[in-house]
């Protein structure tokens, strides 16, 4: 047990006994399965703090602060509060909190940081509420609170018992304690247990949950025509055919875009297709060939300010017996969330009401306020469950569009992207290239040189990550190619490709030196541990731990007939992951049949959801390494829908075995870190099977391997 100072401010503790939420008793489907008893939702709740309220019957509503994009924080964050509050999970109802920056910290879905950065404040919210309940009971009984204990919603001591529900009204009015006790992890009853997704029942029965499902009376649907090429501008347009479409109410121009407003989604789509725009194409219209050529030149250009420069790389290469040099190339990728971008806005003289799927509600609120020249306090944002994010919903462009259109037409509006709009007006994972060089002298790697170049990448590298600190001579450089194509974060930004390139190169160097790939890595780690060179941007022992665990679980050194293995390991989002791919040859073509993964993410809050995240990240990584690519011709994205863009499908998916390192350390990220190592693991295994290396993604274009 540890005692912590509470840092939750007064605003977070409303300390008002909130009365009826309408007095309507709704049927609540208790524990997902319809066979189980349906309990009534109480009409009266007592707000203990901004995170939770308690009803007289002992039910607890926990507000989940962060946006839910499929990373399952709507289940795991409330689990942390419920643990410290010490209630039965079966007595908990979870609600999505709206944007409320006074009450909640960092309401963001990004960087795999929700659990890691929420950990302390969520525990404190639960523990503080628990102490307030105990203090209220102590006051009622006229005893010292230190003699009382609480467990599973019941306070005991002094030969008496009282439930949280019975004391909740009083607890809402006791002072907020200045210090609270947190549980020792060994006493956890909810954290570390398997808990199902709190929205599971709604998902499998098709109830409204997502932004696209949000609807209000009088709302118009808007489908927007945006410039077809990055760099194009709107000259003029003819909307006469659009206005003939049944249901089309209005057509408005904003900037270089045209919004069609209609009484149904289909009418808006038809109206958009019937527009006749004229585009000004005299601006800079970039093609993939231009990006490729420019970045290849950058890779051969010494940078004036290296990201890191240890020792004397120039001399190491001059004195080398041999130099290995390899270049790896990544295409642009769209995010392709299954739920296309959409947002609801209702802008009136009094307020700006926004509802929809957004990873960054706080940033979006400030941008909308600025755009509409309104006070932030006039702007509200309700976050819906998101049909995927992967980084695309960090950028609130769609919410800003909805707000602008609503303000122009004075009507509630929902902007809906078609799949074509979604794929062609993206904030893409930008293309990048990496040149790795290793100097070999007397059978040892003596120098390491990496040059990265990426589109709109301020830093294409992770200079303090592995193998930093394990080599005397180590040089990292990065170049940026500025582009007018909108780019942004895509699940595990930078590292989603850098890890593949690095781990492929390490594999190649190990083989060149005649060393086992796992032992080669462990030897580098030993150096970083015993005699590090410069800054070490990773915990060497944790990293070694997952490498050893993956090797052990995959029987790495054991040869199996017809099974080819590939190793890869990467550290990102504060989490260590090692992966072994097993490939078999099937009809002359390599097939990934199994992935064995080892992960150190500290305490695993919800093993059931955690396995989903790891499996999802690994398969996502394999899918995009194998198939993903978006190219541009004169600024125009060349794939517009799933008939022109290949995503991994069910029969292409290997088994994924998940092994977590047992840990009592505070939890770290999990939505992203399993993705980066996946591409390298399968590339190295396919090399073991076929002798063929991959230097470009997507792998499927390698005809020698895939025919």
Which residue lies nearer to other proteins by CB, 460 or 619?
619
Q: Based on the number of CB atoms within 10 Å of its own CB, is 388 exposed (0-12), middle (13-18) or buried (19 or more)? A: middle
> Quick check: 493 and 456 in contact, CB under 8 A?
no
CB of 275 to other proteins, least distance (A): 17
Given 13, 104, 221, 328, the residue binding other proteins (CB under 8 A): 221
Distance CA 236, CA 226 (A): 13
Residues 35-54 that bind other proteins (CB under 8 A): 35
The 605-634 site mask, x for binding other proteins (CB under 8 A), equals ---xx--xx-xx--xx--x-----------
Pairing of strands 257-262, 149-151: unpaired
> Quick check: 406 and 413 in contact, CB under 8 A?
yes
- CA angle, residues 694, 475, 318, in degrees to nearest 5: 90
The 73-92 site mask, x for binding other proteins (CB under 8 A), equals --------------------
CB of 261 to other proteins, least distance (A): 14
Which residue lies nearer to other proteins by CB, 418 or 697?
418
Q: Does 217 bind other proteins (CB under 8 A)?
A: no
Which residue lies nearer to other proteins by CB, 306 or 673?
673
Which residue lies nearer to other proteins by CB, 382 or 523?
382
Distance CA 246, CA 243 (A): 8
Q: Does 213 bind other proteins (CB under 8 A)?
A: yes
Distance CA 556, CA 529 (A): 23
CB of 70 to other proteins, least distance (A): 3
CB of 584 to other proteins, least distance (A): 16
Of 136-144, 193-201, 370-378, 505-513, the segment contacting other proteins by CB under 8 A is 193-201
Quote the strand ranges of 336-385, DSSP E.
Answer: 342-347, 352-356, 379-383
Which residue lies nearer to other proteins by CB, 246 or 282?
246
Give the residue ranges of DSSP H helices in 264-410. Answer: 265-273, 288-299, 313-318, 361-372, 397-409
Two structure tokens written together for 505: 């190169």
> Quick check: 513 and 440 in contact, CB under 8 A?
yes
Distance CA 45, CA 93 (A): 12
Distance CA 543, CA 546 (A): 6
Q: What is the 3-state secondary structure (H, E, C) of 635-669?
A: CEECCCCCCCCCCCCHHHCCEEEEEECCCCCCCCC
Give the residue ranges of DSSP H helices in 108-215. Answer: 114-141, 164-171, 200-205
Tokens 């998101």: give the residue. Answer: 386
Distance CA 354, CA 562 (A): 56
First to last CA, the chain: 60
Two structure tokens written together for 239: 């909307």
Residues 339-368 that bind other proteins (CB under 8 A): 339-340
Query: What's the residue count for the chain?
Result: 707
CB of 226 to other proteins, least distance (A): 17
CB of 626 to other proteins, least distance (A): 12
Given 337, 439, 465, 668, the residue binding other proteins (CB under 8 A): 337
Which residue lies nearer to other proteins by CB, 128 or 674?
674
Distance CA 682, CA 702 (A): 14
Distinct helix (H) and strand (E) counts, the chain: 17, 31
Which residue lies nearer to other proteins by CB, 36 or 144?
36
Residues 474-513 that bind other proteins (CB under 8 A): none
Residues 224-283 that bind other proteins (CB under 8 A): 246-247, 264-267, 269-270
What is the helix (H) or strand (E) element at residue 550, kind and residue range?
Answer: helix 540-553
Which residue lies nearer to other proteins by CB, 440 or 619?
619
Q: Does 209 bind other proteins (CB under 8 A)?
A: yes
Q: For residue 214, report the phi and psi dihedrals to the nearest 5 degrees.
A: -75, 135
CB of 408 to other proteins, least distance (A): 22
Give the residue ranges of DSSP H helices in 172-287. Answer: 200-205, 240-244, 265-273
Q: Does 199 bind other proteins (CB under 8 A)?
A: yes
Q: Does 594 bind other proteins (CB under 8 A)?
A: no
Two structure tokens written together for 618: 């690994």
Q: Total number of residues binding other proteins (CB under 8 A)?
A: 69
Q: Does 586 bind other proteins (CB under 8 A)?
A: no
Distance CA 223, CA 205 (A): 28
Q: Does 336 bind other proteins (CB under 8 A)?
A: yes
The 368-407 site mask, x for binding other proteins (CB under 8 A), equals -----------------xxxxxx-----------------
Cα maximum dimension of the chain = 84
Which residue lies nearer to other proteins by CB, 256 or 420?
420
Residues 633-662 that bind other proteins (CB under 8 A): 641-643, 647-651, 653, 655-656
Residues 661-680 that bind other proteins (CB under 8 A): none
Given 96, 197, 222, 346, the residue binding other proteins (CB under 8 A): 197
Q: Does 418 bind other proteins (CB under 8 A)?
A: yes
CB of 239 to other proteins, least distance (A): 18
Given 419, 594, 693, 701, the residue binding other proteins (CB under 8 A): 419
Two structure tokens written together for 206: 């098709």
CB of 543 to other proteins, least distance (A): 26
CB of 96 to other proteins, least distance (A): 13
Which residue lies nearer to other proteins by CB, 130 or 414?
414
Q: List, as one string, the DSSP characters of 589-636.
A: EEEEEEEEEEEE-SS-S-HHHHHHHHHHHHHHHHHHHHH--B-EETTE
Q: Does 216 bind other proteins (CB under 8 A)?
A: no
Which residue lies nearer to other proteins by CB, 418 or 480?
418
CB of 493 to other proteins, least distance (A): 17
Q: Does 516 bind other proteins (CB under 8 A)?
A: no
CB of 254 to other proteins, least distance (A): 24
CB of 417 to other proteins, least distance (A): 10
Q: Does 292 bind other proteins (CB under 8 A)?
A: no
CB of 488 to other proteins, least distance (A): 17
Q: For residue 109, report the phi and psi dihedrals to the nearest 5 degrees.
A: -110, 100
> Quick check: 445 and 515 in contact, CB under 8 A?
no
Buried b / exposed e along 324-363 (16+ C-beta atoms within 10 A)? bebbbbbbbbbbbbebbbbbbbbbeeeebbbbbbbbbbbe
Given 30, 188, 210, 706, the residue binding other proteins (CB under 8 A): 210
* Binding positions for other proteins, rule: CB under 8 A: 32-35, 69-72, 194, 196-197, 199-201, 203-210, 212-213, 215, 221, 246-247, 264-267, 269-270, 336-340, 385-390, 416, 418-420, 608-609, 612-613, 615-616, 619-620, 623, 641-643, 647-651, 653, 655-656
């Amino acid at each position: 047990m540890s005692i912590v100072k509470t840092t939750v401010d007064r605003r977070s503790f409303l300390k008002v006994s909130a009365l009826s939420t309408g007095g309507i008793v709704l049927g609540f489907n208790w524990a997902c399965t319809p066979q189980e008893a349906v309990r009534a939702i109480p009409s009266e709740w007592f707000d203990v703090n901004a995170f939770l309220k308690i009803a007289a019957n002992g039910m607890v509503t926990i507000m989940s602060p962060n946006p839910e994009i499929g990373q399952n924080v709507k289940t795991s964050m409330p689990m942390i509060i419920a643990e410290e509050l010490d209630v039965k999970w079966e007595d908990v109802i979870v609600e999505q909190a709206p944007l409320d920056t006074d009450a909640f910290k960092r309401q963001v879905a990004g960087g795999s940081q929700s659990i890691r950065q929420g950990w302390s404040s969520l525990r404190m919210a639960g523990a503080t509420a628990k102490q307030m309940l105990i203090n209220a009971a102590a006051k009622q009984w006229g005893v010292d609170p230190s003699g009382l204990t609480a467990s599973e919603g019941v306070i005991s001591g002094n030969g008496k018992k009282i439930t949280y529900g019975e004391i909740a009204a009083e607890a809402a009015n006791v002072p907020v304690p200045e210090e609270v006790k947190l549980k020792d992890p060994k006493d956890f009853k909810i954290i570390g247990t398997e808990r199902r997704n709190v929205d599971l029942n709604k998902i499998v029965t098709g109830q409204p949950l997502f932004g696209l499902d949000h609807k209000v009376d009088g709302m118009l649907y808007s489908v927007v025509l945006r410039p077809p090429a990055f760099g194009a501008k709107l000259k003029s347009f003819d909307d006469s055919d659009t206005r003939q479409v049944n249901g089309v109410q209005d057509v408005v121009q904003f900037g270089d875009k045209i919004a069609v407003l209609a009484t149904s989604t289909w009418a808006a789509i038809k109206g958009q297709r019937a527009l006749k725009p004229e585009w000004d194409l005299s601006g800079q219209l970039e093609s993939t060939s231009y990006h490729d050529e420019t970045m290849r030149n950058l890779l051969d250009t010494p940078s004036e300010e290296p990201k890191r420069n240890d020792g004397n790389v120039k001399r190491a290469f001059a004195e080398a017996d041999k130099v290995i040099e390899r270049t790896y190339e990544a295409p642009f990728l769209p995010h392709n969330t299954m739920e296309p971008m959409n947002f609801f806005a209702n802008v009136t003289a009094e307020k700006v009401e926004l509802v929809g799927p957004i990873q960054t509600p706080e940033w979006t609120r400030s941008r909308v306020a600025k755009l509409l020249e309104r006070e932030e306090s006039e702007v509200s944002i309700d976050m819906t469950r998101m049909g995927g994010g992967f980084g695309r919903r960090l950028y609130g462009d769609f919410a800003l569009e909805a707000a602008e259109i609503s303000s122009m037409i004075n009507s509630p509006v929902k902007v809906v992207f078609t799949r074509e709009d979604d794929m062609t007006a993206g904030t893409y994972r930008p293309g990048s290239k990496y040149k790795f060089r290793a100097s070999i002298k007397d059978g040892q790697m003596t120098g390491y040189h990496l040059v990265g170049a990426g589109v709109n990448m301020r830093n294409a590298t992770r200079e303090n990550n592995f193998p930093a600190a394990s080599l005397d001579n180590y040089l990292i450089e990065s170049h940026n190619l500025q582009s007018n194509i909108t780019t942004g974060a895509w699940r595990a930004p930078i590292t989603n490709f850098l890890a593949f390139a690095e781990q492929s190169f390490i594999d190649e160097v190990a083989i060149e030196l005649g060393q086992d790939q796992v032992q080669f890595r462990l030897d580098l780690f030993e150096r970083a541990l015993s005699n590090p060179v410069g800054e070490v941007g990773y915990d060497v022992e944790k990293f070694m731990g997952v490498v050893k665990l993956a090797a052990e679980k995959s029987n790495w050194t054991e040869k199996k007939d017809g099974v080819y293995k590939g190793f890869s390991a990467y550290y990102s989002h504060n989490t260590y992951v090692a992966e072994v791919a097993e490939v078999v040859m099937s009809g002359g073509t390599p097939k990934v049949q199994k992935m064995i993964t080892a992960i150190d993410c500290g305490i695993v809050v919800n093993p059931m959801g955690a396995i989903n995240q790891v499996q999802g990240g690994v398969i996502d990584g394999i899918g995009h390494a194998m198939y993903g690519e978006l190219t541009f011709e004169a600024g125009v994205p060349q794939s517009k829908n799933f008939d022109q863009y290949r995503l991994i499908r069910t029969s292409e998916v290997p088994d994924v075995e998940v092994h977590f390192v047992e840990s009592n350390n505070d939890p770290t990220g999990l939505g992203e870190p399993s993705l980066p190592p996946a591409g390298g693991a399968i590339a190295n295994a396919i090399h073991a099977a076929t002798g063929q290396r991959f230097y470009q993604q997507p792998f499927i274009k390698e005809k020698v391997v895939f025919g």
